[in-house]
Amino acid sequence: MEALMDPKIRIVSIIAAIQSGKTSVGEFGLCHIIANNPGPTLWLDQTDDDAKDQSESRLQKLFDECQPVRALYHANRHKRRNTTIQFANGMTLWVLGANNKTNLQRRSIRWLVCDETWRYKTGHMAEAEARVTAFGWLGKCLFMSQGGEDDDDTHRKHETTDMRVWTFACPHCHQRQPFKWEQVEWSKDARDESGEWDFQRVRDTTIMRCASCNHYFEDSDRTRRELNATGCYVITNKNAPKENTGFHWNALCAMSWGRLAELYLRAKAAARRGDVSLIQQFYQKRLALAWREYLEDYKLEIVPGGYLKGEKWDGEAGVDAHGRIIPPGEPSVCPLRILTVDCQMDHLFLVVRAWAIDGSSRLIWDERVLTFTDVQTVQERFGIHPNLVFIDAGHATYDVYRECAAHGWTALMGDKRATFTHKVKGRKSIERFYSPRRKVVLGRGQSCSVFYWSNLNIKDTLAHLRRNQDSENGPVWEVPDDIDEDYLAQMESEHRIKKGGKWLWEQIGSRFNHLFDCEAMQVAAATMLKIVGREAANPDPVDTPDGEP
């Protein structure tokens, strides 16, 4: 608040955990501006609807409760407006959506308040900041956000500030230090008989360790109050311009460490099933950090699994007569093996994987073949059910549809969309990484099923599954001892990059990526079968949409 009112400071950036008071800084600061330092002010949320909700549910109610502001506020509620608010001292407040570019033009603004900037479109923060230019040194910007993604507008702006971090002083060694997640610990024995985490025991045993003297702090509100009482901000970027000030704090100073440990472990469980969205949210929303998981070397040292191609696997699940996935050893109609095919102009690449009920998998065959008859031969050789054969329909689409209709196979199409909406009986619609079934009618009574899958999220899932080759850390992704070099090379053929403010998977140069696509389709099929992904990690029963297997 002092920085916000300091005339020598022009930019205040706050990156902090959700539900920890960062928006309150803007709200209370706005009340002070209205009553004591009025000037044309623009408050931005992501969309116009978000801005309307902010105005109605928070700002206007706050104005009614703040006596100096209420004295300047229109007494007749029916004459108040949500988006343009006039005060008796001549000040105008606009509450608008940042993603509507029209809202960022024409107006000259003295005070700019931007909330949750991580949700803004690329470039819109800069557009809004340009509105204060006409006021010179009087113009001031307040940017508030949780963590976003690495190198986005929010974090680039924050890096232009002095980047102050909230710290505490250990009462035993007096060493000043930030609240760091790496210092939070819990008992590794807090598991039940089946080896699953006992979250009550996790909460009961969670503590935080001093980075200097290794003193352990108990997880209690009293402890956090005592540590925060010694708190102050420490500048970490001393080369920043004096007029740019930034503040950062995470949830460790405001929330139970045991509760955070539970959220983290549940997110890790979902990540081990291939869904990294929850662990991403933990870092962004709780630790207020930029998401950086994929800014690393994509090269994986793949350790062979100690078996040979085509060997039988004792851990392989099965499918019963009702289409249910069952553990190994129980009577089954067929093994849980998936065959995926990437189609090229004059040849095809295929991959066969065996899957366990916990989401582990083994590559048991990969090959380049010439015809769909060759595909059928491989299918029959490994006893794969026709419904578990998935063909890429992105090339020679009609030919693929025809073959799928003739053999009972399923066509797949990669898509740029992140998720697809599914309607579920008795529940609200849900978003999944694959589309509902689309039926394509070819004539003469022939038809085939087509599913679209998210190129980004499915390949993210594949990337995460590939990293685990230790059964103690969740589902294992394995390759045989006699794996060929071409397969290994193709698995390093794409990388995850950011273009135009959006993440995507892109082919590296002219590297062949056909087997990589086959493995991505394996994950798409396994996600549809709920072997991997969030729904596989969810212990609650999940309804299946109408018309889906």
Structure confidence at residue 298 (pLDDT): 35
Tokens standing for residue 410: 């399923």
- Domain locations along the chain: 318-537
Structure confidence at residue 540 (pLDDT): 40
The residue behind tokens 């909460």 is 203
> How would you class 137 by CB atoms within 10 Å of its CB: exposed for 0-12, middle for 13-18, buried for 19 or more?
exposed
- Strand 334-335 to strand 361-369: parallel, antiparallel, or no bridges (unpaired)? unpaired
| CA gap 409, 339 in Å, rounded | 10
For residues 56 and 548, which has the higher predicted lDDT (pLDDT)? 56
Summarised one tens digit per residue, pLDDT across range 389-416 is 999 999 889 999 999 999 999 999 999 9
Q: What is the mean pLDDT of the chain?
A: 90
Structure confidence at residue 95 (pLDDT): 96
Summarised one tens digit per residue, pLDDT across range 419-452 is 999 988 877 888 999 999 999 998 888 899 999 9
Structure confidence at residue 549 (pLDDT): 32
Least confident of 204-218, 238-252, 299-313: 299-313
Mean of pLDDT values over 323-351? 92
In the chain, helix, strand, coil percent, each to 5? 35, 25, 40
For residues 499 and 186, which has the higher predicted lDDT (pLDDT)? 186
The residue behind tokens 């007749």 is 76
What is the percent of the chain with per-residue pLDDT over 90, rounded to a whole number? 72
Within 10 angstroms of residue 77's Cβ, the number of other Cβ atoms is 9
Structure confidence at residue 8 (pLDDT): 95
CA-based nearest residue to 401, from 445, 336, 339, 446: 446
Summarised one tens digit per residue, pLDDT across range 452-481 is 999 999 999 998 888 776 666 678 899 999
The residue behind tokens 């503040």 is 247
Helix (H) or strand (E) holding 134: none
Alpha carbon of residue 293 to chain centroid = 10
Question: In this structure, which amino acid lies at residue 465?
Answer: L
Summarised one tens digit per residue, pLDDT across range 505-546 is 988 888 899 999 999 999 999 999 999 987 775 444 333 333
Does the domain at 318-537 match CATH 3.30.420? Answer given as: yes
Least confident of 11-25, 170-184, 320-334: 320-334
CA-based nearest residue to 93, from 35, 144, 133: 35
Mean of pLDDT values over 362-368? 95
Question: Residue 527 — φ and ψ, nearest 5°?
Answer: -70, -40
Summarised one tens digit per residue, pLDDT across range 93-118 is 999 999 999 999 888 999 999 999 99
Collapsing DSSP states into helix, strand and coil, what is residue 532? coil
Collapsing DSSP states into helix, strand and coil, what is residue 131? helix
Within 10 angstroms of residue 107's Cβ, the number of other Cβ atoms is 17
Q: Residue 297 above 70 pLDDT?
A: no
Mean of pLDDT values over 69-94? 85
Summarised one tens digit per residue, pLDDT across range 121-173 is 999 999 999 999 989 889 999 999 999 988 899 999 999 999 999 999 999 99
Q: Residue 279 above 80 pLDDT?
A: yes
Collapsing DSSP states into helix, strand and coil, what is residue 293? coil
Structure confidence at residue 78 (pLDDT): 58
Global pTM? 0.66
Structure confidence at residue 429 (pLDDT): 87
CA-based nearest residue to 390, from 432, 437, 328, 356: 437
Structure confidence at residue 471 (pLDDT): 61
Collapsing DSSP states into helix, strand and coil, what is residue 460? helix
Structure confidence at residue 274 (pLDDT): 65
Least confident of 263-267, 271-275, 485-489, 529-533: 271-275
Torsion angle, CA of 169/174/175/179, rounded to 10 degrees? -20
Per-residue HEC secondary structure of 351-362 comes to EEEEECCCCCEE
Q: What angle do CA 58, 63, 64 make, to 5 degrees?
A: 100
Give helix 372-381 / helix 397-407 axis angle, nearest 10°: 40
| CA gap 123, 116 in Å, rounded | 14
Question: In this structure, which amino acid lies at residue 520?
Answer: A
